[in-house]
Each structure stands twice: as structure tokens, then as C-alpha cells.
Structure 1
Amino acid sequence: MSKELVVVEAVKDNNGAYVKPDRSTETPDNIAFLPNASAPYVVHIIGYDAGDSIPDGKYYAAFYDPDTQKFLGQFIAVPGFTVAGESTPGNVQVTPTDVGGDVTLGDNSSTTTAGSATTGSTTDSTTGK
């Protein structure tokens, strides 16, 4: 038996709370993030911007056997975290109007200022991507 660490995204119940996945009903299609090929116990959660906050329980980690395509043991909630860096608008432009100006991002770009990620509970968090 081989095993690797995987991360699944939790679904929300009718009250908007994240629900712990059940290994008897989860399928390989529910895996949101796989480990590195060279490091079966390291999973990178990607696709967020600097400064995005990910709430407790949005993701769950579990062991997975790729040979049998079964989840092993229990799902454990990934603690909430904030993506490292600071989201800063880039390429800011203004178009004069009759009453002032319209400020836009010329190419919808943003720049990232390096920083440290924080972990733990996030109370005023966004739902991410």
C-alpha cells in the first residue's frame, strides 16, 4: 500500500458552514490539491493572491492510496491562513470625467509585496478562489 497526503475542498451546508468530508463518499475527483511527486507528504495550496485569507475548514487533508484510489483514516481540517504578501494594485490609471475621474487598473494587474503567511483562525475571511 502506498499513501500520499492530499487536500480536498470542503462543501458548505445550508447554514454556510464547511462540512468535514466523509471518506466513504469522497472520490478521487474531489481531490483539490495533490502532493509533489518527489515529496508525497507536501501539498501546495495554490491559486490565491497575496493577502487572501483562507478560513479554517475550507480545506481538509487526508492520506490517499493512489493504487486503490481510497482515502485512508480521517480528514483533518487545514487551519485558516493568509497568503503571504500584500495585494497592491498595479498600473493605476485615471480617465477624466465631467465631475472628477475614473480610476482603473489599466490591465487588471496587481503587484505583490513579499511578506509572511499567517496561520490560525480567520474571522473576517474571504472564501478564496
Structure 2
Amino acid sequence: MIATRFCAAATILTFAASAVFAQTALPRNVTIPEGYITVQSSMSLSLPFDQGAQLDEQVQKAQKALYNIASRNCSVVVETIAEDCKITGITNNVDMQRGNNRDGFISVRGQISMAIKLKPSMQGSK
């Protein structure tokens, strides 16, 4: 009986945490400069859930990891196909998953939108 109540409470907490920590960018009118194109990149990562740490601290850790990856995304684009890159938007969604053996993980998924100016060698003939 106690185990059933605990599982029900954990399930409710998981759904509540997922809804509270989900963040979505509102539609914006982003003006893309002349000669730029838009590029979107999706990413996903999971971190082990630590039952001894506060949930909000673990969510922030997961979000920081995602934002660190996103902050380097423009550098990768400039190293490969672009002369210039500007981040125009980022979204993230965080949720917690628990396994049968109480091990679990916090999953964070995000999307980064960028405006890039392609290198001349990458531009198609016009």
C-alpha cells in the first residue's frame, strides 16, 4: 500500500516537474539579414538523476549543459560552412525518467535557431 502511494506520488511529481520545467520560445518576428539563411539544430542529452540532490539544481545543471552545447554551435558552423552565425532562438524541454530499480535520468532536449551567412564556396550558383 505504501509502495503504491509512493509510486503514485512519484508519477505525479514527474508529470508536474515536466510541465513546470518545459520551456518553449514564443513565436517572434526575427528579421534575417540580407544574404543569410536560417538553420536549426536539435540536441538531446540525459544526465543521471541523483536522489540526494535537489530536483531544481539538477534541472539547472541539465539546462546549463544544453546551453553550453548551444553556445558552441555557431563556432562549429563558422568552422565548417559559414562566414558568420547569429543565434536567433533557443528552446528547451526538461523531464525526468525513472527506471524500475529507482535509477533514473533527467533528459533535456532543445532546439537552436541560427541565421548564418554561407561561405562563398558553399553557396550554389545563382
TM-score range relative to shorter protein: under 0.3
> With structure 1 as the length reference, what TM-score do the two structures score?
0.25
Larger helix share, 1 or 2: 2
Structure holding more strand per residue = 1
Higher relative contact order, structure no. (Cα contacts within 8 Å, ≥ 6 residues apart) = 2
